[in-house]
Structure 1
Amino acid sequence: MIRRRPLLALLAALLAAATIGAMSVSQASAAPRDTLTIGLTQYPGTLNPMIDSMLAKSYVLGATQRQITVEGPDWQPVCQLCVKLPSLEDGDAVRFPSKTEAGEPVDGVRKTYTLRDDAFWADGTPVTTADVLFAWEVGRHPDTGVANFRAYRDVLDIEVHGPKRFTLVERKLDYRYRSAGDFQVLPAHLERPAFEVPREYRNRTLYQTDPGNPGLWNGPYRVAGVETGSRIVLARNEHWQGRRPAFDRVEIRAIENTSALEANLLSGTIDMIAGELGLAVDQAIAFEKRHGDRYAVTYQPGLVYEHMDVMLDNPVLADRRVRQALILAVDRQAINDRLFAGKQPVADSSVHPLDWVHAAEGVPTYGFDPKRAEALLDEAGWKPGPKGLRVNAKGETLSVELMTTAGNRTRELVEQVLADYWKRVGIETRIRNEPARVFFGETVRKRRFAGLAMFAWLSAPESLPRTTLHSESIPTEANNWAGQNATGFRNAEMDRLIDAAEIELDRDRRKAMWADIQRIYATELPAIPLYFRAEPYILPKWLTGLRPTGHKYTTTNWIEDWQVAE
Structure 2
Amino acid sequence: MRMKAIETAFRLRRACPRRMRPTLRSLWLALLLALGLASPAAARDQLVIGMTQYPSTLHPSIDAMLAKSYLHGLTRRPFTVYDTDWKLVCLLCTELPTFENGKAVRETLPDGGEGVAVTYSIQPNATWGDGTPVTTEDVLFTYEAGRNAATGISNAELYRRILKIDVIDDKRFTMHLDRIEFTYNGLGDFNILPAHLEREALEDPANYRTRTRYDSDPANPGLYFGPYRIAGITPGAEIRLEANPTWWGKPPPVERIILKVIENTAALEANLLSGSIDYVAGELGLSIDQALAFEKRHAADYDFLYKAGLFYEHIALNLDNPILKSRAVRQALLTAIDRDAINAQLFGGKQAIADTSVSPLDAGYDKATHRYGYDPAAAAALLDGAGWTLGDDGIRRNAAGDKLSLELVTTAGDRNRELVQQVLQAEWRKIGIETRLRAEPARILFGETLPQRKFEMGLFAFLSSPENVPRTTLHSTMIPTAANGGDGQNYTGFSSAEMDELLDRLEVELDPARRLQLWRRLQEIYASELPVLPLWFRAQPFIMPKWLTGIVPTGNQFPTTLWVEDWNVR
Structure 1 equivalent of residue 435 of structure 2: 429
1:56 corresponds in structure 2 to 67
CA displacement 1:335-360 (0-9 Å, x = unmatched): 00111110012110111101111111
How many Å separate the matches in 1 of 2:154 and 2:311? Answer: 19
Aligned to 1:222, the other structure's residue is in SS state strand
Counterpart of 2:564 (choices 551, 554, 559) is 559
Larger radius of gyration: 2
CA distance in 2, matches of 1:252, 1:95: 44
User: Match of 1:198?
Assistant: 205
- Give the match for residue 221 of structure 1: 228
CA distance in 2, matches of 1:478, 1:356: 35
Q: Could you tell me how far apart the structure 2 residues matched to 1:223 and 1:545 are?
A: 23
Pairing partner for 1:483 from 488, 491, 501: 488
Task: Give the aligned partner of residue 412 of structure 2.
Answer: 406
Query: CA offset at residue 98 of structure 1?
Result: 2.7
Q: Give unpaired runs (5+ residues) of structure 1.
A: 1-29
Instruction: Give 3-state SS (helix, strand or coil) of 1:550's partner.
Output: coil
Match of 1:245 in 2: 252
Query: What is residue 500 of structure 1 aligned with on the other side?
Result: 505
One-letter amino acid matched to 2:336: A
- Distance of 1:444 and 1:465 partners within structure 2: 17
1:304-343 correspondence runs (5 A): 304-343=311-350
The separation in 2 between residues aligned to 1:165 and 1:529, in whole angstroms, is 43
Give yes or no for the alignment of 1:438 onto 2:449: no
Tell me, in whole angstroms, the C-alpha distance in 1 between the residues paired with 2:492 and 2:201: 31
List aligned pairs for 1:42-441, cutoff 5 A: 42-98=53-109, 105-361=112-368, 363-441=369-447
Question: How far off its partner does 1:147 sit?
Answer: 2.2
Corresponding residue SS for 1:387 = coil
Task: Report deviation, 1:366.
Answer: 0.2
C-alpha RMSD over aligned residues: 1.2
Give the 3-state SS of the residue equivalent to 2:352 in structure 1.
Answer: coil
Indicate conservation of the 8 Å contact 1:147/1:484, yes or no.
no
Q: Distance in 1 between matches of 2:550 and 2:337?
A: 40
Kindly state the Cα deviation for residue 169 of structure 1 after the two structures are TM-superposed: 0.2
- Give 2:373's aligned amino acid: G
Structure 2 Cα separation of the partners of residues 182 and 435 of structure 1: 25
Would the aligned equivalents of 1:37 and 1:252 in 2 still touch at CA under 8 Å? yes
Match of 1:455 among 456, 460, 476: 460
**In the aligned structure 1, how far is the partner of 2:309 from the partner of 2:492?**
24
Q: How far has the Cα of 1:31 moved from its partner?
A: 12
Residues 370-391 of structure 1: CA distance to partner in whole angstroms, max 9, x if unpaired?
1111111011110111311100
Residue matched to 2:531? 526
Cα deviation 1:163-200 (Å, max 9, x = unaligned) = 00100000011000121131110000000111112121
TM-score by length of 2: 0.92
Cα contact 2:42–2:569 (8 A) shared by 1 = no
Distance 1:89 1:32, change over 3 A: closer
CA distance in 1: counterparts of 2:228 and 2:355, whole angstroms? 39
| Equivalent residue, structure 1, for 2:520 | 515
What are the superposed Cα offsets for residues 256-287 of structure 1, whole Å, 9 maximum, x if unpaired? 00000000000000001111011110000000
- Separation in 2 of the partners of 1:319 and 1:496? 23
SS in 2 for 1:386: coil
Q: Shift of the alpha carbon at 1:52?
A: 0.4
Q: Which amino acid aligns with 1:549?
A: T
Shift of 1:414: 0.3
Cα distance in 2, alignment partners of residues 386 and 56 from structure 1: 46
Which amino acid in the other structure matches residue 538 of structure 2?
R
Structure 1 CA distance, aligned partners of 2:126 and 2:263?
35
User: 2:225 & 2:188 partners in 1: Cα distance?
Assistant: 18
Cα shift at 1:550: 0.2
* Pick aligned residue for 2:471 from 445, 466, 473: 466
* Cα deviation 1:298-326 (Å, max 9, x = unaligned): 10000000001100110100111100000
**1:547 and 2:547 equivalent?**
no
Unaligned runs of 5+ in 2: 1-40
Structure 2: which amino acid aligns with 1:375?
A: A
CA distance in 2, matches of 1:212, 1:445: 27
Deviation at 1:32, TM superposition (A): 7.5
How far 1:230 moved relative to its partner? 0.3
Q: Percent identity?
A: 56
SS at match of 2:488: coil
AA partner of residue 394 (structure 2): G
Query: What secondary structure is seen at the aligned counterpart in 2 of 1:264?
Result: helix
Paired AA for residue 421 in structure 1? E
CA shift at 1:501, angstroms?
0.7
- Partner amino acid for 2:428? W
> 1:485 is matched by which residue type in structure 2?
N
Deviation at 1:106, TM superposition (A): 3.3
**Structure 1 residue runs of 4 or more that deviate by more than 3 Å after TM superposition:** none
What amino acid is aligned across from residue 430 of structure 1 in structure 2? Answer: R
Q: Is the CA contact (8 Å cut-off) linking 2:130 and 2:221 kept in structure 1?
A: yes
Matched residue SS, 2:308? strand
Deviation at 1:393, TM superposition (A): 0.3
Q: How many residues align?
A: 530
Conserved 8 A contact 2:81-2:91: yes
Looking at structure 2, the residues matched to 429 and 33 of structure 1 have their Cα atoms a distance apart, in angstroms, of 50
What secondary structure is seen at the aligned counterpart in 2 of 1:336? helix
In structure 2, C-alpha distance between the alignment counterparts of 1:395 and 1:386, rounded to whole Å: 13
Measured in 1, the distance between the counterparts of 2:441 and 2:284 equals 14
How far apart, in 2, do the equivalents of 1:519 and 1:194 lie?
45
Q: Which residue of 2 aligns with 1:16?
A: none
Cα separation, 2, equivalents of 1:325 and 1:304:
24
- Could you tell me how far apart the structure 2 residues matched to 1:193 and 1:446 are? 28
